[in-house]
């Protein structure tokens, strides 16, 4: 499926529609098989020990997967996460930024499934693994799919 929004378009969409995340999460690259998003770590994300907490990792994966879906279907602000499964596998590097590498596994008419691996910037082993299902609203809004 063709890419209809590139990194610049996705970041502009985030800035307009999700200003509260756009300051810390941005799309770095969009390719046919992989979207990469980056989290700039701020004090509010840190847990004792100086590492990023689970909710922030969840937010990074969620934004990355959302953008990966939008990169194929365009700016559908109403797509919503219906299921998420995360494995937290390693402690992130203290103070470092995080990267999410995201891949779409299914892009159906009403459901999309994608997965993301989260890395500390420069780290070889994944910090976390996440898969999510998104519900995509039908084109005619009077006929809600959920």
Alpha helices (H) in the chain, listed in sequence order: 7-17, 19-22, 54-73
Shortest Cβ 109–a second copy spacing (Å):
7
Q: Which is nearer to a second copy, 27 or 59 (CB)?
A: 59
CA dist 124 → 8, 27, 65, 113, 127 (Å): 27, 20, 21, 25, 9
> Which residues bind to a second copy, rule: CB under 8 A?
17-18, 20, 44, 46-48, 53-56, 58-59, 62, 77, 80-90, 105-106, 108-111, 113, 115, 117, 125-126, 129, 131, 133, 135, 144-146
Shortest Cβ 11–a second copy spacing (Å):
17
* Contact call for residues 34 and 104 (beta carbons, < 8 A): no
């Amino acid at each position: 499926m063709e890419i209809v929004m590139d990194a610049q378009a996705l970041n502009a969409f985030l800035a307009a529609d999700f200003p509260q995340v756009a300051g810390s999460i941005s799309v770095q690259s969009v390719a046919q098989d992989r979207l990469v998003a980056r989290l700039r770590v701020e004090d509010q994300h840190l847990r004792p020990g100086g590492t990023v907490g689970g909710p922030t990792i969840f937010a990074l994966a969620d934004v990355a997967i959302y953008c990966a879906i939008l990169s194929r279907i365009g700016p559908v602000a109403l797509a919503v996460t219906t299921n998420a499964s995360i494995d937290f596998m390693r402690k992130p590097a203290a103070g470092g930024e995080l990267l999410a590498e995201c891949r779409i596994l299914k892009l159906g008419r009403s459901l999309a499934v994608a997965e993301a691996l989260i890395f500390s910037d420069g780290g070889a082993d994944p910090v976390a693994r996440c898969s999510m299902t998104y519900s995509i609203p039908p084109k005619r809004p009077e006929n809600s799919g959920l």
